[in-house]
Amino acid sequence: MTARKARARALRRSDLARASGCHPETIRYYERIGIMPPPPRTDANHRAYDDTHVARLRFVMRARDLGFSLDEIRELLALFDGKAGSCADVRELALRHVASVRARVRDLERIAAVLSDTVSRCSGEAVPECAVIDALQGAD
């Protein structure tokens, strides 16, 4: 038995989930869409994850926490795996993502301002007229 195979026997999907904080169904999904590589199998045909799977899953989860899309994560993983690109490519992808996040923040600030203004016109009393409902219906 090789050292890799012995190491791979250490973790089943539930162990990987506990080690990474990721739900087992999410791990299954990431495998299905190619974000996570399929694990080797034991002689009993059980999935056998190892520390490389834990590290990769943590990488994916951190990228998701930072708002990267699955397509962006695929690009990052290709760079992480050394298949293509350089640090300059990672930087460019990250800068595009920062610009996207800033645009979403501006949109959310605009939405918050509109909602705040609408709510401020709402009396909050037990009456049938409601400024919020009127605004949502376009009666504003």
Q: What is the pLDDT of residues 47-101, one digit of tens each?
A: 899 999 999 999 999 999 999 999 999 999 988 787 767 888 889 999 999 999 9
pLDDT in tens, 96-137: 999 999 999 999 999 999 889 888 887 777 777 787 888 888
pLDDT at position 86 is 81
Domains of the chain: which residue ranges? 1-85, 87-140
1-85 CATH choice from 3.90.320.10, 3.30.43.10, 1.10.1660.10, 1.10.150.120? 1.10.1660.10
**pLDDT recorded at residue 139:** 56
**Three-state secondary structure of the chain:** CCHHHHHHCCECHHHHHHHHCCCHHHHHHHHHCCCCCCCCECCCCCECECHHHHHHHHHHHHHHHCCCCHHHHHHHHHHHCCCCCCHHHHHHHHHHHHHHHHHHHHHHHHHHHHHHHHHHCCCCCCCCCCHHHHHHCCCC
Answering whether pTM is above 0.85, one says no
